[in-house]
Amino acid sequence: MIRAISFLLIILLGSCTKHKTLFSPLEEQALSVAALKCQNANSMEWLRKIIALSEVDFQYKGSIYAIQCRSGMVFLHQPWINGCFGCNLYTCEGTSLLLTEAEKTEIIAGAKEENLIYTSSR
């Protein structure tokens, strides 16, 4: 009987996988700040996906900034290993942006600590 219970416990423990289903307080804070900056009460699912991806895929690890510029609120996702600074730009709705060099310069200048809303764990 003890062997059977031990065997079932081993199988049960072995079948458990590590899934991250809840967001950390830092992730939730980033989403709240983003929604506030966009004056948008929706879930910002697109940003949630970028944050989740940045936690599991090294190519996406990096920082996310919310920068107010003449084009409106722009989100800059800057992966640490990406050689192109200011290439991953999004609107409040999650639409990718293609900006002029002048607009990119304005956004890059806004990539400061006070506009940082999230940084991936290392």
Radius of gyration of the chain from its Cα atoms, rounded to whole angstroms: 19
pLDDT tens for residues 6-32? 443 444 444 444 444 466 888 999 999
Non-local CB neighbours of 85 within 8 Å, separated by 6+ positions: 78, 108, 111
What pLDDT does 16 receive?
A: 45
What is the pTM (predicted TM-score) of this model? 0.77
* pLDDT number for residue 74: 94
Quote the strand ranges of 1-122, DSSP E. 62-69, 72-79, 89-90, 116-119
Give the phi and the psi of residue 26 in degrees, each rounded to 5.
-65, -40
Q: Yes or no: say if 115 and 83 are a contact pair by the CB < 8 Å rule.
A: no
**What's the pLDDT tens digit per position in 33-57?**
999 999 876 778 999 999 999 999 9
Q: What is the pLDDT of residues 57-112, one digit of tens each?
A: 999 999 999 999 988 999 999 999 877 888 899 999 999 998 888 888 999 899 99
CA-to-CA distance for 6 and 37, rounded, in angstroms? 53
